[in-house]
Structure 1
Amino acid sequence: MKNYHLKNLSKKRIFSMMMISALCTAYPSSSFADVSEVQITMQTVALKGQVVTESGEPVIGASVMLKGTSNGTITDLDGNFILNGTSKGTLVISFIGYITQEIPMNGKTSLKVVLKEDTKTLDEVVVIGYGTQRKEELTSSVMSVKAENFVQVTTPDAAGLIKGKVAGLSVINPDANPLSTSEIVLRGSTTLKSGTSPLILIDGVPGELNSVSPNDIEQIDVLKDGSAAAIYGTRGTNGVILITTKTSKGEMKPTIEVNSYVSFQKIAKKLPMMSADQYLEKVKEGYTGAADYGSKTDWLDEIMQTPFNQTYSINLRGGSKNTNYIASFDYASNEGLVKRSKVETIFPRLNVTHRMFDNRLKIDAGLSGYQQSYGIPYNTNVYQSALIYNPTEPIKDENGKWTEVARDLYYNPLALLNETQGKNDATNLRMHATVTVTPIEGLDIKWLLSREVYNKFSGYYETKNHRSTTIQNKNGYASRETHKNQADMTEFTIQYNKAFKGGHSLNALAGYSWNKNNNQEAFMDNYNFPTDDYSYNNMAAGTALKDGKATEKTYQEEYKLVGYFGRINYNYQGKYYLSASIRHEGSSKFGADHKWGTFPAVSIGWNLKEESFLKNVNFLSFLKLRAGYGITGTIPGNPYLSLNTLDLGGYGYYGGQWTTLLRASSNPNPDLRWEKKKETNIGLDFAFFNDRISGSIDWYNRDTDDLIWDYTVSVPPYVKNTITANAGSIRNRGLEVSLNFIPVKTKSFTWDTGINFSTNTNELVSLSNGKYSSNGYTDLGDTYAPIQQKTHRVQEGMAIGNFWGYKSIDIDENGHWIIEGADGKPKPIAEQQADDKKVLGNGLPDWYLNWNNTFRYKQFDLSITMRGAFGFQILNMPEMNYAAPVSLGLGNVMEKAFDNVYGKRPLAADQELQYVSYYVQDGDYWKIDNLTIGYTPVIKENKWIKGVRVYGSISNLATITKYSGIDPEVNVTGLTPGVDNMYRYPSARTFSIGVNLNF
């Protein structure tokens, strides 16, 4: 008897596992005992046969029926069948995922049937928590994107492959730093203090978006609503992204796939800073702060480069009847726009699946991970300094020394780049093994073990020519840091599939999950070294540590998560669907009185197309109404918030001498518990005209209660004046619409297009409860020096993401700001009061729109992805800091610094920098995000090459926006979204050429 692990088998075998017991019940006269033991005399045997795929793989559980009769059977675990009775008539062979065949018997006694895949049906298979389902059976909001529909883009992680493909999922790449990863938010902000990223599972094992090579991914499924994600308990609050990697399938000759591409980048847009000639004009005009140092230097050009990036991926896979394997290796070398920002990454992977004892036992084991190496990490001061450093300053003085000024936030960018040394090595190793036992058909008992180990070493050194020595007299500075994280997991599940007479079908799941995470860090620094030759490799040579002026620290934390879960999926006649799940979960992060929480979910579906009143409506292909409700939780990042932690501080006189005291550093809270997100989702799935038009509509409401936040308490009785506790709630609501069209489909030409739209509104309903209270708001964010004000206000009854500051309405005749006071009347900025501040806008888009197109003409293909965000504002911090005449005293300024404001006159030279609404600009944008052209030539049959595809692409091709900054695509995560940081790494346009080879 055979058994197949879901993540390492073809979709047809997934269906075999799910439906074989149903087919047994449907044809009780032809049980597996009948087929395997063949206790039938030869006189009664009409036909023996086998059903296989085009690759020769047996099809398990295929239906073999004599047309027009109830005489039928199903194929066994080797694809074989025996049909008793007459030798006349027409045989009908069918199985989900394949094109049904009708074959005249004509007295045949043996037959081999080859089924062809119905790719349209196979595409409807989606991955859900701990299993798979046909899309038709889904009762929750789940979106699946297959590899052939990925965005063909150079991407740092898996999220880039589905950017713009999933309604409600925001994927942001705010800069071109080769170390950056995507920022993702699903259906808005649901928490104040915890993370907002969805749970990432790679073949069922927790990971990160960059834990797997994008070239090694077969499918990405997104569980969007609470009823789908509740099976993961506290980890599912922000949604779940399930990544399925490529596998080998059944008997398969060894094949090799090679994917390679090279690319280069150009800065997408430069801030219009004054050139040396423009700056010298201001010197001649006598502007305060402008000074001529005799040179002409384009500092931004000096630090920039044209990066050349290259990626090579090789994939080997194959298999026999009992054993399958896949081995892959990726190498990626990515340079950044800023010099000395090169990252090299390798992704090795090996996975083996072996079946034994007539497939009653299956063992699946794999090793994967990555190794990443780079020099010094990007220093945020380099780009900012290149913008504002005086363009008349020489790079070096007459003595060959870097020109430096003893002033904070004003550095020679080339000195920062060239007078540092460093190395960073990060290694991620992921190991997993799964043992699956199938004692009876339809029952799978699975045990999964996994371990992920992450190690990172960082070494950093500033030479004696660095400003840390020339300005701060450190005489060489070095630091070393190590980091290790180990995540262990074991899961035990039992899953049973059964179909009953009368059209009833049941899938039942029960499981146990255990997770432990251990994190360790160590850091030390030192300075005053005798020579630069030691770099960071002889830390003891510095004298600062001996003098008590340097740092040495270590840290370790550990936490556990345990869960018991179950789920039932019920299907009646393909019309009515029910799914119900529950997870009981405990975490060491919570208080002694609230270690455990329970997270239920239920969802239903109604396939209206199968009802008699719609079944004969020919233009309607599919119509299903679904509704779901689920509760999930949230875990805080710090594992010790509920405990009374201690630290060293202060001195006490004991035993005749002064002794360092051990004292409480936090208040314990045994009542600290889960945040609970309660989500309702109502959806409609539809298709018309043989799926030429299809789509879905979802409306959701999310209420998150018991928000974790820091509250002020009195001392005594508390030992500290703050405590972390549960109080308050957030509400998110939204609408998501996905539409897919095939406007043109001929023998030579096809046009596929998809549009998805999503909107989200949120409100901080409360920040208090009966025990803990606040003043109803908190101000967050930072404009940095010299303004140094908070940027956002989080307030009860208002939306998350509100900018909070002074509303500018005009300037006076002298060029000073006029703001709107608390009473709504104009007043000079010099008379500002705290209560004059107002909501200036919001950094979270009201709605997103994405439009994806694919054109195919013979062997050519063209894909265009476009996306936009609308109804939000951006705080343009570069303009706020660099577009004012007063900034000439701090360095270079933007060309527009001397333009008229409000159409009247420039700002006054003595108007100090201010955070006012003038710099909070509309951020609406529409991007032509990616354009890819490919060619797949027809390859004549040969023993070497099976397929070739060459392509070229442009990413971040064009942006349509009124926003005046370098890129309107800015941070949308956390409580302070929408800020265009003046330290931001610039954005890039990427040009790529690639080739895919199959051998």
Structure 2
Amino acid sequence: MNMNKILVMFLVVMTMFGGNLQAQSYKAQELKTKKITGTVLISEDKSPAIGATVIVKGTTNGSAVDFDGKFLITANEGDILLISSIGYVSQEIKVTQKSHYDILLKADNVALKEIAVIGYGVQERRDLTGAVTSINLEALEQPALSIDNALAGQVAGVQINSSSGAPGSATAITIRGITSLDGDNNPLFIIDGVPVYGVGSHSSTSFSQGSIAAVAIGGNSASGQIGANSEFERNPLANLNMDDIESIEILKDAYATAIYGSRGGAGVVLITTKRGKKGQPKVNLNISTLVAEPVGVPDVLNGDQYVDFYNAYEGPDKDGNYRFNKGLNTDWFDLATRTAITNNVSATVSAGTDKSTYFLSLSYLDQDSYVINNDFKRYTSRINYEYKSSEKFRFGNNLTFSYTDNNSLNSGSVYRNSILANPSISVKDEDGMYNFVENKQSQFNPIATAKESINYVRDSRLIGNLYAEYKALPWLTLRSEFGIDLMVSKAYNKNMAYEKIDREGNANQTNIQNMKYVFNNTATIYKELGEHVFNGVIGQSFETSDEDIVSISGEGFPTNDVLSISQADKPKVGQAVRREWAMMSFFARMNYRWLDKYMAGVTYRIDGSSRFNKNERYVGFPSFSLGWRFSKEQFMEAYTWVTDAKIRASLGFSGISGSGGYYGHQGQYILKENASKYGKTNILEVAQPSNPDLKWEKTKTLDIGLDLTLFGDKVQFTFDYYNKKSVDMLIQSSVPWYSGYSGQKQNLVDMTNKGVEFSLNTLNINKEFKWSTNFNIAKNTNEVTNLNIDGSYTPGGAETAYAFYQVGESATAWFLYDWHGVDPLTGNPLWRYSDGSISTTPPASIMGNATTDNKFVMGDRMPEFTGGITNVLSYRNFELNTMFAFSYGGKIMNGTRAELLTYSDQNYRNLSRDILDEWIIAGHKTDIPKRNNKSIVKTGFGDGKTDYTVSRKSDRFLEDGSFIRLKNISLTYRFNPERIRRIGLRSLAVYLKGSNLLTWTKYSGPDPEVSAFGSSAAYAGNDELTIPQQKSIQVGVKIGL
């Protein structure tokens, strides 16, 4: 080939290559000038991700997101866009032929969800070696009026039951079984570092030494008085606005709770409120309306059935004053109840700069009960502020003020008496005056009680803290904080005078002022030395409480319009009491991690309390823990589906300090006026003998747990086994009669709670349609292991009437006589004796003989299993949330049915329709005995009789309290942010929610979750015409500005 041909070929090839290079150059120039637009939104509420940045990866070419979440940037096709924002998971998007991209940022699990608040500090969740449960923040976003409602069924081992349906009433929250027989079994609540107690508990303002809620064993007294021994126990969480809460942590084992020493034995609930966030002010509004009615209603006789029954019962020769006439059918319950309406409005504002942040909130709740003239109003305000003066120093406050007005606390008696009232009489007579149900024992009209009496409790409460924090060294932070819980309360009751029954008006008033404050100083250490990481705290705490209680009463008022007790004919000071206690504490905790695999921790706290004698005043609470993240070991490398796996174990002590009362170790005296035994003079009488050896109740807990995270974050599994031993438990023991005392508090009982807990969180589908599930279940077994009294022990008092302690049995066991049904031949009740024989004669001991003969253990108040399952399903802008709670194995004493089967010629109450199935003729199979049977026994003098067929001392009314309940179901729709921004909104969501809509249970009473003794878990399982919970429908809207 000659040179000319080679040259021509070279020129042709170069021309083609050059043309291709030129084409590529032109194409590259075209791509470089391509404009990319889009939006960056927060996935949770579709609000603009203000502050987010969009950068072409590997370059300095970037753009900031504007206030509407929009961005504009130039990029090449094939470039990678990096979208990031503090607190959210960064995303990478490859540029394709599209010119517009919509990006949703999700909260960073490591930065947000995986940090757990623990006592006096925080720790990464993956490094926890104690049993700590964080409440899913999405659960808190579900519409709820109170925290306890939001928590029900969410946490394994935590049982939450409402004591009654009365607004603002107490909730029983039990963590891993009961830990005290005489004290409060509710956990310690800490709100932003401040301990908060309820009214009626031993560590707080207490109207009574016990925790008696809406009714007592016999039901509310007809008067419904509120005084120094009020029957109404308030909910310590009812003062909080749900929209203020950032996170909730539940500490369950001894390592987690030992940092709180003597108050951590029943568990600890840490509540952290929201802080301000850097950026422009964000306003959030939450407005809702709710309608409700009772979950169940007893079925009673109508007017004609009532007349037929009692006329036949009395016979034709009975006093004409107690003969009843047909023709009226007054539905007292319908008149005393209504469809309840609740309105709730909440507004929050959050903003901040590099130097300072703030969070403000206001809320108003107006909650009606379905019982007339019973409502609960709550006003709250909050300011959380923080100022950062330098990189080392910051200070701030978390303050909330609430005012609650609970009107008509006699709702329990109104509810009860509306069921028991005679339906054959009218509410008012022809002259417009109230008719009264005239029994030989009492006279009442529930409508008059509701409409004419005045009953209220008004509480003003300030809870908060001031703090300052200084970073002295890169690894050392010093913090001081002063917390306060100030409550001023006024309870007032006035019963009007009624000429028709010749009753004078009377009134009672109780004023309480209680101030608690706590002063904490801590030094927090966080130091990394290569593969060794140390995280600890050392500190001191001082807490004190000062309480003043004054109660006055009066009888005989000039008119019903006069409310001042000073104007009564007979004013009287009921009591004037001042109570004080204080506690000094020192504590330390150190957590250690090596190679991100091996963990250990030690905690120690010393508490000194004024509640105990100087010889028993101080006590130490040590705890230890170990953890092993075996997923980091080499032998796990093949199991790529295991994201994280950890075994942990802990052993430690905690306690209960308040069960001995304010002055449990000291002798206590009461002033008796006009003592008849001493010539009607005023005397001082010993109410309680001293016990200088009174000691702390202590709990030792062993916990072994397994935490697994599988398939990324799609499956999270937690398992715990625990063995909780409580020693030196206090009970009111009997003393020799010749001592002159009725009893003395002594440390006499030891018991154990053993159990297992299992929880499973799964992300089942994660596409445009999303589905996640939370399931938890727990089993707890209680046993009395030591009783320093010969034989068994049965305490006294209304709430302990069925309590029985015996080694080898549960402390919450039912100890009852065995009702063996009704003899179909004679209609007499049948009783089973301990020798196996069956008799129609009731056991002698049921008739007042103080023995345990012929009594049997008949199940347990506490359930065998508890749990819940939550499913969240979302598609585009819709989200459906369902939550079922379940309880299996607990027994309930159905005192409601017993009351409605109780009749006599002394008290003509209305009855259950079941009474129509009473035994009539031989061969009749029924559980209702004949009217005059062998278990109705003459007692005392005159015509007095006692009907032992309706006694709560037998198992006739003991029923299975197992249930499955649809606690909550909600449907939420979130509007498209692009559309709502056109009308000036940042976010908009509407929701519809139902609560307690469906219940599956064998229990024949209105509600398997109520308790006649409020938050006292040790005496749970009593239903004595207690106001049942409400089932409700709620509609609301959430607006972001």
TM normalised by structure 2 equals 0.80
Tell me the residue number matched to 1:82: none
1:954 aligned residue (982, 986, 994): 994
Aligned partners of 1:533, 1:884: CA distance in 2, in Å?
38
Aligned partners of 2:592, 2:770: CA distance in 1, in Å?
38
Q: Does 1:996 align with 2:1038?
A: yes
Instruction: Summarize deviations over 1:594-643 as a string: whole Å, max 9, x none.
Output: 11000001111100110111134111111110000110111134111112
Tell me the residue number matched to 2:643: 621
Instruction: Summarize deviations over 1:700-747 as a string: whole Å, max 9, x none.
Output: 00101111222334478x67463322222011001000011122221x
Q: Does 1:598 align with 2:615?
A: no
Q: Does 1:945 align with 2:985?
A: yes
Tell me the residue number matched to 1:33: none
Tell me the residue number matched to 1:740: 761
Tell me the residue number matched to 2:281: 254
Tell me the residue number matched to 1:26: none
Give the C-alpha shift of residue 292 in structure 1. 2.2
Contact 1:712 1:774 in 2 (8 A): no
Aligned partners of 1:446, 1:103: CA distance in 2, in Å?
43
Describe the SS at the equivalent of 1:964.
Answer: coil
Give the C-alpha shift of residue 650 in structure 1. 8.4
Tell me the residue number matched to 1:185: 174
What does residue range 889-908 of structure 1 map to in structure 2 within 5 Å?
890-899=908-917, 903-904=925-926, 906-908=928-930
Contact 2:52 2:84 in 1 (8 A): no
Describe the SS at the equivalent of 1:439.
Answer: strand
Give the C-alpha shift of residue 368 in structure 1. 0.6
Aligned pair count reads: 881
Contact 1:231 1:581 in 2 (8 A): yes
Tell me the residue number matched to 1:922: 960
Instruction: Summarize deviations over 1:759-815 as a string: whole Å, max 9, x none.
Output: 1110111221xxxx35531145649xxxxx933323332112222222111322232
2:372 aligned residue (334, 339, 356): 339
2:183 aligned residue (191, 194, 198): 194
Aligned partners of 1:448, 1:733: CA distance in 2, in Å?
37
1:269 aligned residue (287, 296, 302): 296
Aligned partners of 1:598, 1:436: CA distance in 2, in Å?
28
Aligned partners of 1:597, 1:534: CA distance in 2, in Å?
54
Unaligned ranges ≥5, structure 1? 1-52, 59-63, 67-89, 105-113, 784-788
1:512 aligned residue (521, 531, 540): 540
Aligned partners of 2:641, 2:547: CA distance in 1, in Å?
58
Tell me the residue number matched to 1:296: 329
Aligned partners of 2:586, 2:461: CA distance in 1, in Å?
29
What does residue range 652-691 of structure 1 map to in structure 2 within 5 Å?
660-662=682-684, 664-691=686-713
- Matched-pair identity in %: 26
Q: Does 1:762 align with 2:790?
A: no
Letter in 2 for 1:897: I
Distance verdict in 2 for CA 1:889–1:531, change over 3 Å: closer
What does residue range 732-881 of structure 1 map to in structure 2 within 5 Å?
732-746=753-767, 748-768=768-788, 773=789, 775-780=791-796, 782=798, 790-812=801-823, 813-830=825-842, 832-834=844-846, 835-881=853-899
Tell me the residue number matched to 2:195: 206
Contact 2:703 2:722 in 1 (8 A): yes
Tell me the residue number matched to 2:120: 130
Distance verdict in 2 for CA 1:711–1:173, change over 3 Å: closer
Give the C-alpha shift of residue 458 in structure 1. 2.3
RMSD of the TM alignment (CA)?
A: 3.1
Distance verdict in 2 for CA 1:650–1:936, change over 3 Å: closer
Letter in 2 for 1:742: L
1:484 aligned residue (473, 489, 513): 513
Give the C-alpha shift of residue 976 in structure 1. 2.3
Describe the SS at the equivalent of 2:149.
Answer: helix
Distance verdict in 2 for CA 1:719–1:65, change over 3 Å: farther
Distance verdict in 2 for CA 1:691–1:762, change over 3 Å: same
Give the C-alpha shift of residue 65 in structure 1. 14
1:442 aligned residue (472, 475, 489): 475
Aligned partners of 2:453, 2:298: CA distance in 1, in Å?
26
Structure (1 or 2) with the larger CA radius of gyration = 2
Describe the SS at the equivalent of 2:349.
Answer: strand
Tell me the residue number matched to 2:142: 152
Letter in 2 for 1:956: N
What does residue range 371-382 of structure 1 map to in structure 2 within 5 Å?
371-382=403-414
Tell me the residue number matched to 2:937: none
Give the C-alpha shift of residue 692 in structure 1. 1.7
Aligned partners of 1:942, 1:102: CA distance in 2, in Å?
29
Aligned partners of 1:115, 1:754: CA distance in 2, in Å?
23
Tell me the residue number matched to 1:109: none
Describe the SS at the equivalent of 1:127.
Answer: strand
Give the C-alpha shift of residue 293 in structure 1. 5.7
Instruction: Summarize deviations over 1:30-72 as a string: whole Å, max 9, x none.
Output: xxxxxxxxxxxxxxxxxxxxxxx975499xxxxx999xxxxxx
2:524 aligned residue (492, 495, 507): 495
Distance verdict in 2 for CA 1:103–1:836, change over 3 Å: closer
Aligned partners of 1:392, 1:765: CA distance in 2, in Å?
55
Aligned partners of 1:491, 1:222: CA distance in 2, in Å?
21
Letter in 1 for 2:523: I
Give the C-alpha shift of residue 173 in structure 1. 1.7
Aligned partners of 1:687, 1:290: CA distance in 2, in Å?
73
Quick check: 275-284 or 172-181, which moved more?
275-284
Contact 2:792 2:807 in 1 (8 A): yes
Q: Does 1:176 align with 2:165?
A: yes
Distance verdict in 2 for CA 1:255–1:475, change over 3 Å: same
Tell me the residue number matched to 1:45: none
Aligned partners of 1:610, 1:454: CA distance in 2, in Å?
51
Aligned partners of 1:178, 1:192: CA distance in 2, in Å?
27
Describe the SS at the equivalent of 1:640.
Answer: coil
Give the C-alpha shift of residue 308 in structure 1. 1.1
Tell me the residue number matched to 2:213: none
Contact 1:153 1:160 in 2 (8 A): no
Letter in 2 for 1:230: A
Letter in 2 for 1:619: W
Letter in 2 for 1:488: Y
Distance verdict in 2 for CA 1:985–1:853, change over 3 Å: same
Q: Does 1:544 align with 2:551?
A: no
2:249 aligned residue (211, 221, 226): 221
Distance verdict in 2 for CA 1:905–1:352, change over 3 Å: closer
Instruction: Summarize deviations over 1:74-99 as a string: whole Å, max 9, x none.
Output: xxxxxxxxxxxxxxxx9999999665
Give the C-alpha shift of residue 440 in structure 1. 1.8
Quick check: 386-395 or 581-590, which moved more?
386-395
Contact 2:511 2:549 in 1 (8 A): yes
Contact 2:792 2:804 in 1 (8 A): no
Unaligned ranges ≥5, structure 2? 1-47, 60-79, 95-103, 197-235, 316-321, 847-852, 934-946
Contact 2:51 2:85 in 1 (8 A): no
Tell me the residue number matched to 1:974: 1017
Quick check: 756-765 or 381-390, which moved more?
381-390
Distance verdict in 2 for CA 1:487–1:365, change over 3 Å: same
Give the C-alpha shift of residue 423 in structure 1. 4.1
Tell me the residue number matched to 1:28: none
Contact 2:129 2:649 in 1 (8 A): yes
Distance verdict in 2 for CA 1:898–1:814, change over 3 Å: farther
What does residue range 36-435 of structure 1 map to in structure 2 within 5 Å?
56=51, 99=89, 118-119=108-109, 122-150=112-140, 152-155=142-145, 157-207=146-196, 208-249=236-277, 251-280=278-307, 282=309, 291-292=324-325, 294-356=327-389, 358-404=390-436, 405-408=438-441, 411-435=444-468
TM normalised by structure 1 equals 0.83
Distance verdict in 2 for CA 1:873–1:143, change over 3 Å: same
Aligned partners of 1:470, 1:551: CA distance in 2, in Å?
29
Letter in 1 for 2:873: F
